[in-house]
Amino acid sequence: MKMMSKNSVREVALDIVTRVGHQGGFSHLLINKTIQQKGLSHKDTALLTEMVYGTIQRKDTLDYFLSPYIHNKKKLKPWVLWLLYMSCYQMVYLDRVPDHAVIHEAVEIAKKRGHKGIVSMVNGVLRNLQRKGPASLEEIAEPMQRLAIETSHPLWLVNRWVEMYGMDETARMCYKNLERSMMTVRVNTTRTTREEVIKHLTDDGFKVAPTTLSEQGIVIHEGNIIQHPLFQEGALTVQDESSMLVGEMMDVQEEMNVLDACSAPGGKSTHIAEKMNNTGAVHAYDLHAKKVALVKQKAEQLGLTTIKTAASDARMLPQQYDEHTFDRILLDAPCSGLGVVRGKPDIKYAKSEDDVIKLANIQLQLLQSVSRLLKKNGKLIYSTCTVDRKENEEVVASFLREHPEYEVDPSFFTDLPKETNGLVGLSQWGLQLFPHDFDSDGFFLTRLQRKDGHHG
């Protein structure tokens, strides 16, 4: 492990935010790659992650804060603009480094990378910010616009969420999206029990608690779990608590024949195989062969031999299997990902209304295709990690309109953990979890049942 000087961590952070902000790309992937390539220490990793996530997560707010002091923003080189955003983030939101030190470091970076004009502009803008403070959010009179800027979400998304879920729920979600998400892990119950793992981790000095939505999950409140030997032993997997609810609600039994149509990287396939105590079969597909390899790898790590992987477009699966083949089907569909912006802040800037509409069409096609393969009385879970009625409730409603042989499984609602009772997101079509409900990903799931006595 190497320690870097604070300034070089800042430079690496600047390269990442500039690249993500200017060319696109996922910050979490770039951070992970950098940590591996440079072999960063735990401390450097924490600083790098804080600066990259914080700056990207709050980009629009930072832009607003700096707006009185930056003229001709369009003319600035991308790295200069992102250097200003990153410095503003530290000055406004982090207490650890005094403002004068942040300005000094920014100026040093500007000297290394730019000409004199840039150096004095960076110095001038940040000194103004220090002296006069960030532009006041109070001046934005229109409530949705203010929420959008205050929480750095695009206005179209705030408007859309307000229309769908109301101002209160939207505001809670937008603020929650600015927080760092909690790490949760799932215990491989074919190897050990949650009680044993909780004891083991507590003895090792971790602060942990059982999850609410799954009987296999553990929330890590304190401690760096990622290097823990329990992972090497195949006793743990990292998984968000909302995702764990899917495995819980699959209602599987030993020896069942299960299809997971969109399975990569394998979080839910492996959970299902664990639930079946490594009996029966989980047929795990994904469009991309490279991603299918991840499912295989995860299954091997966890010793789950009943998972069979292959690449395929899920829409083609009816050509490979007879109707009524599977006892259970999971369609964890590709989606806009608007429920996971805490962990992947880039998503909120990258997605558009158009994407939502296109994805909803694909989701319906996928549902129509895989639904043919379910046995009578079988159950199918449809889920997404997004918060949008078009991709969630409306896909389910359209599907059910065209498929009278299906219904929302009435026992879905009674099987849900009691803590979900009375949630705003619970409807006749399924359950929309908001990130602020359980401090987990924004997520939708429902369970459909193929009725007996119908053909087709």
Ligand X SMILES: C[S@@+](CC[C@H](N)C(=O)[O-])C[C@H]1O[C@@H](n2cnc3c(N)ncnc32)[C@H](O)[C@@H]1O
User: Catalytic residue numbers?
Assistant: 385
Stretch that binds ligand X, among 212-220, 282-290, 350-358, 418-426 (CB under 6 A): 282-290
Position 169 contacts ligand X (CB under 6 A): no
| Strand 374-384 relative to strand 326-332, pairing | parallel
Tokens of 92: 């406004």
Is 313 labeled as ligand-binding? yes
Nearest alpha-carbon partner for 383 in 340, 422, 431, 427 = 431
Position 370 contacts ligand X (CB under 6 A): no
Position 284 contacts ligand X (CB under 6 A): no
Residues 239, 214 contacting (CB under 8 angstroms)? no
Position 314 contacts ligand X (CB under 6 A): yes
Is 286 labeled as ligand-binding? yes
Position 332 contacts ligand X (CB under 6 A): yes
Position 266 contacts ligand X (CB under 6 A): yes
Site string for ligand X, 237-256 (x = CB under 6 A): ------x-------------
Position 217 contacts ligand X (CB under 6 A): no
Residues 40, 13 contacting (CB under 8 angstroms)? no
| Strand 307-311 relative to strand 281-286, pairing | parallel
Respond yes or no on whether the N-terminal peptide bond of residue 265 is cis (omega within 30° of 0): yes
Position 287 contacts ligand X (CB under 6 A): yes
Position 291 contacts ligand X (CB under 6 A): yes
Stretch that binds ligand X, among 69-77, 281-289, 344-352, 430-438 (CB under 6 A): 281-289
- What is the SS3 assignment for 342? coil
Nearer to ligand X, 261 or 448 (CB): 261
- What is the SS3 assignment for 352? coil
Is 267 labeled as ligand-binding? yes
CB of 175 to ligand X, least distance (A): 25
How many residues interact with ligand X (rule CB under 6 A)? 20
Separation of alpha carbons 231 and 414, rounded Å? 34
Nearer to ligand X, 42 or 288 (CB): 288
Amino acid at 99: D
Is 265 labeled as ligand-binding? yes
Q: Using CB atoms within 10 A of its CB, is residue 74 exposed (0-12), middle (13-18) or buried (19+)? A: exposed
Position 341 contacts ligand X (CB under 6 A): no
Separation of alpha carbons 323 and 210, rounded Å? 40
Position 449 contacts ligand X (CB under 6 A): no
Find how far residue 77's CA is from the centre of its chain.
30
CB of 315 to ligand X, least distance (A): 6
CB of 299 to ligand X, least distance (A): 11
Position 268 contacts ligand X (CB under 6 A): yes
Nearer to ligand X, 313 or 355 (CB): 313
CB of 279 to ligand X, least distance (A): 20
Residue with tokens 């608590």: 241
Position 223 contacts ligand X (CB under 6 A): no
Residues 370, 317 contacting (CB under 8 angstroms)? yes
Cα dihedral sign, 395-370-263-195: positive
Is 262 labeled as ligand-binding? yes
Nearer to ligand X, 45 or 263 (CB): 263
Position 286 contacts ligand X (CB under 6 A): yes
CB of 8 to ligand X, least distance (A): 35
Stretch that binds ligand X, among 51-59, 266-274, 351-359, 446-454 (CB under 6 A): 266-274
Position 265 contacts ligand X (CB under 6 A): yes
Nearer to ligand X, 3 or 316 (CB): 316
Is 352 labeled as ligand-binding? no
| End-to-end CA separation in angstroms for the chain | 60
Separation of alpha carbons 87 and 14, rounded Å? 10
Separation of alpha carbons 386 and 430, rounded Å? 13
CA dihedral of 411, 417, 421, 424, whole degrees rounded to 10: -100
Nearer to ligand X, 108 or 313 (CB): 313
**Which residues fall within 8 angstroms of residue 410, CB to CB, at 6 or more apart?**
none
Stretch that binds ligand X, among 108-116, 258-266, 318-326, 402-410 (CB under 6 A): 258-266
Residues 446, 429 contacting (CB under 8 angstroms)? yes
Position 334 contacts ligand X (CB under 6 A): yes
Q: Packing angle between helix 267-275 and helix 241-249, nearest 10 degrees? A: 40
Return the residues of window 380-439 that contact ligand X according to CB under 6 A. 385
Position 296 contacts ligand X (CB under 6 A): no
Mark 297-327 as b/e (b = at least 16 C-beta within 10 Å): ebbebbbbebbebeebebeebbeeeeeebbb
Position 324 contacts ligand X (CB under 6 A): no
| Binding site feature residues for S-adenosyl-L-methionine | 262-268, 286, 313, 332
* Chain positions contacting ligand X, by CB under 6 A: 243, 261-268, 285-288, 291, 313-315, 332, 334, 385
| Binding site feature residues | 262-268, 286, 313, 332
